[in-house]
Structures are given as C-alpha cells and as structure tokens.
Amino acid sequence: MKQIWKDIKGYEGLYKINVNGEIVSLPHKYSNRWGSTVYTPARKLKPTYRPVDGGYYVYGLTDAKHKIKQHRMNILVADTFNREIKFNNLPGETWRFSFANYEVSNLGRVRSNIRNYQKDTMTYSEYRLISFQNNGHGYLALNYKSKPIYLHRLVASAFIPNPNNLPQVNHKDGDKKNNRVSNLEWVTAEENKQHAKRMGLVIQGSKSWNTQITPEKARQIKLDFINGTPTTKIMNKYEADRHTVLSIAKGKSFKRETSDIPNYSGNAKDRANITRCKSKRNTSGHVGVNFDKKSGKWRSRICYKGKTIIDKKFSSMQKAVEYREKVLNAISVSS
C-alpha cells in the first residue's frame, strides 16, 4: 500500500510525515553563517525515545530560520492528518463555561478545551475530561492553583440561578457524589444543616465514631454543671473540652440521653463565675451558705467576678439556701 506523505505545519518544504509517524527531510539548499551554500539531501529521520511520562518519541526539527525544536511524534501525526476523535456527550448533556479553560455539564462532568492527545493511537480530542477527587469529606474537588474547587458548586453556579445569594449548595438525595443539576439547590447554612439531620447524615452523641463521652458520662456532666461545679473542673474530671461540656449542659449534645435533666439556658461564663465548689470548712452542706458566729444567723452570699453581689443573713439555714437559689435562678434567666 502506497504511503501518504504530508507537509508538517510550520515546516512546509522542509519535512514530510506519514501516518505511521515516519519523517523525511526534503532536499534543500541554504546559506550557512560563513556565506557558503549548503545542499542537504533527502533523508529519513530517526526519532528519539523519551522514557518520561510513560515513554514517547520525539523529533528534532529545524525550521527555515535554522532553529531546532522538539516535537512529539504522536502530536505531529494527529495534527497533520487531523485524526480527531469526537468527544462523547451523555444523553441530555449540555455544557456551559465555568472558569479558565473549563466547562461544566448539567450531569456533573467537567472538561477542559485543551486538546487531549493520545500517544498510542496518535489521535486527539478537542476536550479533556477532568477527574475530581474525594476531599476526605465526601465532596468531589479539584485542586486549582492550590485552592479546592468543588464540583457541586461549579454545577450550581453554571445552571441554577441564585438571586438571593444563598451561600451553600445542598445535595437533595444526600449523595455528595451525585452532582447532577437536578440533585442540587441553593440553601442557607441552617437549611443545609437541617437537611443533613433529616437525611441522617449527621451522627451525634454516642453514635459518633470519634466520641469519647458515653451516655452515662454525659448525664453526669450535665448534673455536675447544673449543680454548680465549675466548667474547668468538669473538663478535667471527664477529659472533655469546654465546647463539649457546654453543649451537653445546654441540651445540644446527647439530647435524648439527658432529656430528663433540665437544660441550662443561661450564660455559661457567668454561671461558672457565680457558682463555686463547696468549701471544706462549710458546715451547712450548701455552697455559699454558712453560719455567722458573731450575729448568730445564717449567711447567704453570692460572689461574681471577685465581687460580693449578695450578702444577706437569715434566721434559719433553709431560708438562706432558698434565697440564694432564687437569686441564682433569676440571674440565669436574665443572662
């Protein structure tokens, strides 16, 4: 079968190439730097093998200005013979511009409009399909200029109007890998959180894989907090951070396990400053209540941030305790 030879673009009259990637230089004359005329006969070029990037062959071609440039053999063949493979769209797939050289489809795919050359078949496609990786939290993302680009946000930005400038994109079926436009919607942060809870995507309390607090510990933490134990002491006792202690005390964490214990609704910092542990010298058995020997009465005191804000005396211990609890409850409600 007769070989078909074609001129290489940019090297017309100098080189020809066939579909197998063989290149011949055409006979031509040129003047060297000393002014002499040099005649170059026709010859077949030998490609150089480069083992990098999976291995490929290159040719060193000299243009009319005597500048040498390296070219991959598969790219020369694909461009010269226009061996294009059409990009296959999925049924019902449409594309829109996204950013830089990237386009996004309504079916959750991304492609770049930079030619994709195939080494083995010596063909090319006008588009290159981009693969996204799991970012560790289930979302598909692309690292672009050291910043993560999330696939679901690309699709939503291109196809779903957002007149209210809602900040987050929600997956309706809860599947973070399903980034079709029909499965996405713009929502607020609170709406996204509530949807995740309804879908069972948020695991809280003792079912969480990384929890160190058992339901029994959670109940004891809440009881200790309500009874006035300082937050720092609870943290050290149960090896929990401040956020966990306050979340349990307010009924946000372990809600079902501690539903029979009243939730704390006041300011946690003020509560920690107002309440304190019972002194070893305390004879009444109640924090902030002691017997004053000089007056012969029971004394009820409340200190806040190093200052005494309540200091009253009563004829009986019960009245002193009841008054102090009444004031504490009033402070908790108002804070």
The answer to whether 282 and 299 have CB atoms below 8 angstroms apart is: no
- Note the pLDDT tens digit of each residue in 128-167: 999 999 887 889 999 998 899 999 999 999 999 999 999 9
Smallest CA-to-CA distance from 65 within 10, 118, 114 is with 10
| pLDDT for residue 211 | 60
Quick one: tokens of 305? 């941030």
Q: How far is CA 95 from CA 101, 103, 108, 160, 181, in A?
A: 13, 6, 10, 13, 12
Q: For 245-310, give the DSSP string.
A: HHHHHTTSSSTTTTTTSPPP-S-HHHHHHH--PPPTT-SSSSTTEEEETTTTEEEEEEEETTEEEE
Q: For 233-262, give the DSSP string.
A: HHHHHHT--HHHHHHHHTTSSSTTTTTTSP
Smallest CA-to-CA distance from 98 within 69, 74, 67, 132 is with 132
CATH of domain 84-202: 3.90.75.20
Which of the two residues, 269 and 143, has the higher pLDDT score? 143
- Note the pLDDT tens digit of each residue in 3-46: 899 999 999 989 999 999 999 999 877 777 787 887 878 899 99
Strand order in the sheet with 102-105: 95-99, 102-105, 110-112, 128-130
The answer to whether 38 and 28 have CB atoms below 8 angstroms apart is: no
Smallest CA-to-CA distance from 181 within 191, 189, 192, 170 is with 170
User: Selecting from 3.40.50.2020, 3.40.630.10, 3.90.75.20, 1.10.150.120, what CATH number does the domain 5-81 have?
Assistant: 3.90.75.20
| pLDDT for residue 182 | 95
- Tell me the pLDDT of the chain averaged across its residues: 84
Residue 319 phi/psi, 5° resolution?
Answer: -65, -40
Domain boundaries, the chain: 5-81, 84-202, 204-271, 289-333
Quick one: tokens of 70? 């390296």
To which H or E segment does residue 73 belong? helix 73-80
User: What gap in Å lies between CA 81 and CA 78, rounded to an integer?
Assistant: 6
